[in-house]
C-alpha cells in the first residue's frame, strides 16, 4: 500500500501556527466582513508534500463551506475552520456566482476540507484580499467535475473491473460492515482517502448516520487489513454523501463471502513451484476450462476442497458468475480426473471470491512463473547507493542495487503495480497528497520493493501492496523475522535497529499497511518515500509504527 499521510493537518510548522495566531485579532475585529487588503496566494507544500498554494481567507461563524461543485446550489460536503494563510488550495476555476457579507464572486478554488478531508470548492468571496478572485493561484484548466462528484471505472490490482470512488477517512479508518447495516459486524476497514479505493457495485440498505450526514446507499468493497469483503455506507463518499454516482447496481444484496484465506507457495508432488489455494467445491466438482472463459470447453475438474488444490499462477479473463459471485480473475491448474491443464475462475476461491491472494501473475498465461529462490545466492561483496557491503547474500545485494538504481524516478501513487514489475504512471489522489501522480511515471513504496525483488530473483513473489507483501514475504521461508508492533513490542524502529541487517525489508503501520522500504544499515533505508520526492535514501521512519522486518535470505 502507498504511504498514507493525513490531509487534515493544516499546520505544517510552528511558523504557520504563529502566523495564524497573528491573524486572530484581525479576524475578530472584522467579524463577518472580510479584510480589504489583498494578500494574494503563495506557493508551498502541504503536510503530505503536495504542491499547493496558501491563500488568506476569512472564516464566518460555522466555518468556510466547501461545496461539491462550483455552485452554492451544490451540496456542502465539508468546511474550513482556520483563517489567515493556514489554508491551502490546488487551483481556481470559474463557476456560479456566490455572495457573502456583501461581496460577490464567480471564481472558485479547489481544496480539501478540515472535517472529513473531502475535496471540493470554495468561492472567492472568502478570500481575504480583493474578494473576487484568488491572486497568484493557477487555473484548474477550466470548469470540471469536482472530485467526489462521480466514481470512475477502472481495474483493481487483480485486473477486475471496479469503480474508484473518492472517500474521506475518519480516525481509525472507514468501517467495512458484513452487511448493509451499521448494526452488523465490522469485518475490515479502509484506510486510504481520496480516489484510491475501489468498489464493485452499490445497493440499498439501512440508514447510516456519520458526522451529520445520512445515507441508505451502500457499496460493496474489500477491506485493507484482512481482505474481507463487505459494505461501506455512502456517508463516507466525498461528494453528495448519499449515493455512489456512476457505480452499477449490485442486483441484489447477497451476503459477502467469507474472509480471505490467501494462497501459500510450495511445491507439488512433482517438485514444481506451485501455490496452494483454498477452494469450495460444488456438486460435480470445480470445472476447469480450456481457456479463461466459461464459454470455452470444460477439460477437467477439481474434486477436493480446502487447501489441497494447487495452482501455477493467476491471469485476467472473462467474467464468471457462480452462486451470486462474479470474477474476471482466473488461476491455471491441473485437474483431478485426466490431469488436463486449464483455468479456474476465482469465484471458487473461499475468500473474497474475486482474486487469488498471494498467487503470482501468469504474465501471458502460458507458463507458470519461476519459483522464488530458496537460497540467497551465496555470500558476496559489493556496493549499493554509495555504501559498501561485505559478507552479504548475492540476492540481497542485487535487490538493494536494483532499488538504488531507480533514483531517477519520482514517487507515483500506485506506481509499479502493473502485470509486469516496473515503473508505471501513478494514480491522482489529491486527498492523499498525490494530485498529479497520474502524470508521473515511477513507483510507490511497495511497487519499488516488488520491482527490486523481481529483478534480483526473476520471481514476482512480492506482487502486492504493503500488507500483502508482509504476508508474501513470510511465506518465502525467510532467514529471520524481526517483530515490532506485530509482537506487541515497542512500535519505534529505533528500538529494533540493533537486530536489523542491510537488505532487510522493513514494514511500517498497523498490519503493515503504511510503508515498506529496504534497510541499508546505519539507520538508512532506500525507498519510494512520498509524492513529489525522487526514489532515494532516507533515514528510517521513526514517526510511523514499526510493524516488523523480514530477512529473506
Domain ranges of the chain: 14-126, 152-236, 264-348, 379-551
pLDDT at residue 255 above 70? no
Which is more confident, 447 or 349? 447
pLDDT at residue 488 above 60? no
Average pLDDT, the chain: 78
Three-state SS at 458: coil
Residue among 431, 421, 445, 418 nearest 515 (CA) = 445
Report the pLDDT value the prediction gives residue 534, as an integer from 0 to 100.
94
Question: Cell for 87?
Answer: 489554508
Report the pLDDT value the prediction gives residue 261, as an integer from 0 to 100.
57
The verdict on domain 379-551 having CATH code 3.40.50.970 is no
Q: Which neighbouring-strand residues pair with 222?
A: 229
Report the pLDDT value the prediction gives residue 203, as an integer from 0 to 100.
80
Residue among 225, 235, 165 nearest 510 (CA) = 225
pLDDT at residue 250 above 70? yes
- For 67-74, what is the mean pLDDT? 87
Q: Which residues contact 407 (CB under 8 A, 6 or more apart)?
A: 534, 535, 536
Percent of the chain with pLDDT over 70: 80
Which is more confident, 64 or 460? 64
For the domain made up of 264-348, give the CATH fold: SH3 type barrels. (2.30.30)
- The vertex-452 CA angle with 517 and 265, nearest 5°, equals 95
384-416: pLDDT as tens digits:
999 999 999 999 999 999 999 999 999 998 899
Q: What is the pTM of this model?
A: 0.43
Q: Among 128-137, 192-201, 308-317, name the one with the lowest average pLDDT.
A: 128-137
How many other C-beta atoms lie within 10 A of the C-beta of residue 541? 20
Torsion over CA: 170, 173, 175, 176 (sign) = positive
Q: At what angle do helices 445-457 and 466-474 cross, to 10 degrees?
A: 30
Amino acid at each position: 500500500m502507498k504511504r498514507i499521510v493525513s490531509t487534515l493537518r493544516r499546520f505544517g510548522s510552528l511558523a504557520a501556527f504563529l502566523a495564524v495566531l497573528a491573524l486572530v485579532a484581525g479576524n475578530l475585529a472584522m467579524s463577518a466582513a472580510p479584510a480589504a487588503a489583498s494578500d494574494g496566494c503563495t506557493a508551498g507544500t502541504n503536510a503530505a508534500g503536495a504542491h499547493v498554494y496558501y491563500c488568506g481567507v476569512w472564516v464566518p461563524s460555522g466555518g468556510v463551506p466547501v461545496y461539491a461543485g462550483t455552485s452554492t446550489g451544490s451540496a456542502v460536503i465539508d468546511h474550513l475552520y482556520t483563517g489567515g494563510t493556514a489554508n491551502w488550495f490546488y487551483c481556481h476555476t470559474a463557476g456560479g456566482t456566490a455572495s457573502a457579507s456583501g461581496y460577490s464572486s464567480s471564481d472558485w478554488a479547489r481544496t480539501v476540507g478540515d472535517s472529513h478531508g473531502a475535496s471540493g470548492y470554495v468561492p472567492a468571496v472568502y478570500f481575504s484580499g480583493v474578494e473576487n478572485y484568488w491572486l497568484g493561484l493557477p487555473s484548474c484548466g477550466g470548469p470540471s467535475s469536482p472530485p467526489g462528484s462521480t466514481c470512475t471505472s477502472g481495474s483493481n490490482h487483480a485486473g477486475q473491473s471496479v469503480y474508484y470512488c473518492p472517500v474521506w477517512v475518519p480516525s481509525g479508518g472507514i468501517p467495512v460492515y458484513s452487511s448493509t447495516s451499521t448494526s452488523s459486524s465490522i469485518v475490515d476497514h479502509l484506510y486510504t482517502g481520496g480516489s484510491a479505493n475501489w468498489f464493485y457495485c452499490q445497493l440499498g440498505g439501512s440508514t447510516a448516520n456519520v458526522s451529520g450526514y445520512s445515507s441508505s446507499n451502500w457499496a460493496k468493497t474489500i477491506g485493507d487489513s484482512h481482505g474481507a469483503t463487505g459494505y461501506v455506507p455512502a456517508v463516507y463518499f466525498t461528494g453528495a454523501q448519499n449515493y455512489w454516482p456512476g457505480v452499477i447496481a449490485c442486483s441484489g444484496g447477497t451476503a459477502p463471502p467469507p474472509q480471505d484465506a490467501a494462497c501459500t507457495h510450495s511445491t507439488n508432488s512433482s517438485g514444481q513451484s506451485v501455490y496452494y489455494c483454498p477452494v469450495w467445491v460444488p456438486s460435480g466438482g470445480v470445472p476447469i476450462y480450456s481457456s479463461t472463459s466459461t464459454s470455452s470447453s470444460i477439460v477437467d475438474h477439481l474434486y477436493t476442497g480446502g487447501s489441497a488444490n494447487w495452482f501455477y499462477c493467476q491471469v485476467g479473463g472473462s467474467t464468471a458468475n457462480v452462486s451470486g459471485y462474479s470474477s474476471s480473475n482466473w488461476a491455471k491448474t491441473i485437474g483431478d480426473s485426466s490431469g488436463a491443464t486449464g483455468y479456474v475462475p476465482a469465484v471458487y476461491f473461499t475468500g473474497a471470491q474475486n482474486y487469488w491472494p498471494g498467487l503470482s501473475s501468469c504474465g501471458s498465461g502460458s507458463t507458470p512463473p519461476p519459483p522464488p529462490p530458496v537460497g540467497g545466492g551465496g555470500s558476496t561483496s559489493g556496493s549499493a547507493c554509495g555504501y559498501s557491503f561485505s559478507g552479504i547474500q548475492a540476492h540481497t545485494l542485487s535487490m538493494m542495487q536494483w532499488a538504488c538504481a531507480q533514483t531517477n524516478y519520482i514517487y507515483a501513487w500506485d506506481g509499479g503495480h502493473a502485470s509486469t514489475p516496473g515503473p508505471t504512471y501513478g494514480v491522482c489522489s489529491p486527498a492523499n497528497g498525490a494530485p498529479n501522480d497520474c502524470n508521473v511515471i515511477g513507483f510507490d513504496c511497495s511497487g519499488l520493493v516488488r520491482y527490486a525483488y523481481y529483478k534480483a530473483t526473476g520471481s514476482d513473489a512480492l506482487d502486492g501492496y504493503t500488507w500483502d507483501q508482509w504476508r508474501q514475504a513470510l511465506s518465502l521461508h525467510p532467514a529471520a523475522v524481526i517483530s515490532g508492533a506485530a509482537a506487541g513490542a515497542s512500535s519505534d524502529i529505533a528500538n529494533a535497529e540493533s537486530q536489523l541487517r542491510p537488505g532487510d525489508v522493513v514494514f511500517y503501520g498497523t498490519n503493515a499497511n503504511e510503508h515498506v522500504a529496504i534497510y541499508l544499515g546505519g539507520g538508512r533505508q532506500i525507498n519510494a518515500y512520498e509524492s513529489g520526492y525522487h526514489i532515494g535514501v532516507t533515514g528510517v521512519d521513526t514517526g510511523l509504527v514499526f510493524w516488523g522486518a523480514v530477512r529473506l535470505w
